[in-house]
Amino acid sequence: MNIAVCVKHIPDPNLPGELDGQRLKREGVQGTLDPGDEFGVETALQLKQAHEGEVTLVSMGPPQALEGIRRGLSMGADKGVLVSDDSLQGADALITARVLAAAIKRTDFDLVIAGVESTDGYTGTMPSTLAELLGVPQLTFTNAIEATGDALKVHRQTVDGYQVVECSLPALITVTAGVNEPRYASFKGIMAAKKKPVEELSVADLGLSADDVKVAQNIVDISQAEERKAGEVIEDDGSGAAKIADYLKEAKVI
Amino acid sequence: MDLDLSQEQRDFVRVMRGFVDDAIRPNAERWDEEHALPMDAVKQMAELGLFGLPFPEEYGGSGADFLTLCLAIEEIAKVDSSLAITLEAAVGLGAMPVYRFGTDEQRAKWLPPLATGDALAGFGLTEPGGGSDAGATRTTARLEDGEWLVNGSKSFITNSGTDITSFVTVTALTGSEDDRKEISAIIVPTGTEGFDVGKGYRKMGWWHSDTHELSFNDCRVPQGNLLGERGQGFKNFLKILDDGRIAIAALAVGLAQGCVDESIRYAQERSAFGRAIGSFQGLQFKIADMAMKTELARQAYYRAAWLKEKNRPYKKEAAMAKLYASEIAVDVARDAVQVHGGYGYIEEFPVCRHFRDSKILEIGEGTSEVMRILIARELGLPEA
């Protein structure tokens, strides 16, 4: 089974983000492979162990996005594709999907894996758009994946449990954080990654036109996210348990 | 001049930080209270390939350089000195003598399980009557019917009593010539009749590292277990200790850096007289000094490791790095406890454990006094 995994190199989410105009500053800041994408890479590596095939990491970003690909390669992926082009600066989720679709179509894929959403932009719309552009079924929010020959059986996480869904391949899945425990790259893996092929492509290499990558989205305004509110303290006057139960019901946890 | 780590080393350090944060930091205090080497953690370290870092891939290793091993030791020591010394001793003292002085046959037999971390080995030099004093060696090995008959005892031997310990290499008197004692190194496998492992020591620090006193009573091992040339045992072990000193310096730097990090965090969180204590110049000066000493010690061990990698003389630099790093580690740990005030004296705060763990660094693998003697000799001063 050949698997393409979408990976994104993002500003380190553990450091305070900086703004560049109305966009997140990406140049000259400490970057990292999106932690959400490590689950996708691990999923692909586990499927590969069971079903053979190749794992290709596909990324769009500035040249330093190579670091994110290298991280995935050192975990054990086989090769990488990086689409890097000045014209892609400020690309929105739609353009990203278009570019990744064009890059993935060039590979012989049975399955595409993406995280549910990126840990920087958080739009969460890219994977679904990508599946549409590739013309393959999409199974989102999966947290257990089983492949059987040319079909896939997954658990889709829902608010109150999970659905068991099957589909044929090729397909696209998004994996939730916690679907597995991503492996650590060993030093041997890091050294091996140096020798693995990474294809670097421009927009023109993909056969896309300037219009295809023209940003249609317009950011009107940005503002600081609301501070997380302090927790609610319930004084136990004998009705504490009931109050907590009510709260959990309201949150639809029980 | 290039003072940068390689891209691969930097990537590896990032992986190590993630591993230490996830797998070690949350458990270090509990493991220490349990006073036992956590074999689950050893297994996780093995899966990461740490025990085989400097050995070639044909023996199950990673083919990394010596500095990369030191970087791993430093990262672990920031949080957990017991596990850091477990790794340092396993690779530097347990496996390295076999790799450096073993025959192809010995390497093929003993090295692969050590490199993969499926087994651990000990290094038995120190005896109840002495360590760096070769002449004080009392353990004997006599050839008898094609076997070595080993008798004697060894002290403070790390990784010698775990469930996966496969052997201990011991130095023993194998004869004497013209009043010169002939000391050789011999591999004694775990389970050999007459090889007894004493119960773990009650130590000031390194509570969850595995350290035992060993005794050998008419232990018979095959003649082929002689490691390196007959009569070269002590000399070869001293070479092993030169490398070990760089690794101990890395461990000391890790401990000191852990103390600096904890102190910065605490000084920002804790307030007194209406302001963060980190805003008081008295504390700022203290923490600035702690960070400076740590950084200088790091440069010292980087350089010693670099000299070794370049096949240039590094004995003096290794001794200086070990001496300086271990002494500043004790200073920095003591100052970190001071920064923490009363909380620094209780086990819930890591600096308390770091302080207990620091003192041994001035003693193990050659005391500070022995380091100064070595440096003086390298400077050309006459032997006593």
Same domain, B204 and B129: yes
Please, are residues B29 and B350 in contact by the beta-carbon 8 Å criterion?
yes
DSSP state for residue B130 in the 8-state scheme: B
Domain limits at B308?
A: 235-378
Please, are residues B172 and B227 in contact by the beta-carbon 8 Å criterion?
no
Whether this prediction's pTM lies above 0.80 is answered by: yes
Out of B8, B19, B47, the one facing A190 most closely (by C-beta) is B8
Please, are residues B187 and B167 in contact by the beta-carbon 8 Å criterion?
yes
Domain limits at A91?
A: 2-213
Report the candidate in B84, B56, B24, B68 with the shortest Cα–Cα distance to residue B256: B84
Mutate to test the interface with A, among B5, B6, B12, B73 (most CBs of A within 10 A): B12
> Does residue B383 form part of some domain?
no
- Residue type present at position A251: A
Say yes or no to pLDDT of A253 above 90.
Answer: no
Which of the listed residues B231, B255, B282 is the one where a domain comes to its end?
A: B231
Q: How many domains does chain A have?
A: 1
DSSP string, B255-321: HHHHHHHHHHHHHHH-EETTEEGGGSHHHHHHHHHHHHHHHHHHHHHHHHHHHHHTT---HHHHHHH
Same domain, B75 and B135: no
Same domain, B246 and B369: yes
Same domain, B273 and B287: yes
Q: Tell me the shortest Cα–Cα distance from B163 to chain A, in angstroms.
A: 25
pLDDT of residue A123: 85
- Can you give the CATH number for the domain in which B249 is found? 1.20.140.10
pLDDT tens digits for A48-98? 999 989 999 999 999 999 999 999 999 999 999 999 999 998 889 999 999
Say yes or no to pLDDT of A198 above 90.
Answer: yes
Could you tell me if A70 lies within 8 Å of chain B, comparing CB atoms?
A: yes
B141 CA to centre of own chain: 27
> Does residue A150 form part of some domain?
yes
- Can you give the CATH number for the domain in which B152 is found? 2.40.110.10
Please, are residues A142 and A179 in contact by the beta-carbon 8 Å criterion?
yes
Beta strands in A67-191 (DSSP E): 79-83, 111-115, 138-148, 151-158, 161-168, 171-175
Residues of B designated catalytic: 365
pLDDT of residue B290: 98
Q: Tally helices (H) and strands (E) across chain B.
A: 12, 10
Q: Tell me the shortest Cα–Cα distance from A121 to chain B, in angstroms.
A: 23
The DSSP bridge partners found for residue A33 are: A9
> Does residue A12 form part of some domain?
yes
Residue A235 — pLDDT band, cuts 50, 70, 90? confident
Residue showing tokens 């001293």: B238
Q: How many domains does chain B have?
A: 3
Same domain, B254 and B368: yes
Please, are residues A170 and A151 in contact by the beta-carbon 8 Å criterion?
no
Same domain, B37 and B113: yes
Residue B18 to residue A184, Cβ atoms within 8 A: yes
Stronger pLDDT, B16 or A22, i.e. the higher one: B16
- Residue type present at position B235: K
> Does residue B1 form part of some domain?
no
> Does residue B70 form part of some domain?
yes
Report the candidate in B170, B173, B191, B169 with the shortest Cα–Cα distance to residue B181: B173
- Can you give the CATH number for the domain in which B56 is found? 1.10.540.10
Which of the listed residues B166, B196, B231 is the one where a domain comes to its end?
A: B231
Per-residue pLDDT of chain B (384 residues; tens, 9 = 90+): 889 999 999 999 999 999 999 999 999 999 999 999 999 999 999 999 999 999 999 999 999 999 999 999 999 999 999 999 999 999 999 999 999 999 999 999 999 999 999 999 999 999 998 877 777 889 999 999 999 999 999 999 999 999 999 999 999 999 887 777 899 999 999 999 999 999 989 999 999 999 999 999 999 999 999 999 999 888 888 888 888 999 999 999 999 999 999 999 999 999 999 999 999 999 999 999 999 999 999 999 999 999 999 999 999 999 999 999 999 999 999 999 999 999 999 999 999 999 999 999 999 989 999 999 999 999 999 987
> Does residue B384 form part of some domain?
no
DSSP state for residue B47 in the 8-state scheme: H
Same domain, B130 and B113: no
ipTM of the complex: 0.80
Same domain, B363 and B240: yes
- Can you give the CATH number for the domain in which A21 is found? 3.40.50.620
Give A 179-198 residues with CB within 8 A of chain B: 184-188, 190-191, 194
> Does residue A22 form part of some domain?
yes
DSSP state for residue B229 in the 8-state scheme: S
Could you tell me if B48 lies within 8 Å of chain A, comparing CB atoms?
A: yes
> Does residue B188 form part of some domain?
yes
Which of the listed residues B190, B210, B231 is the one where a domain comes to its end?
A: B231
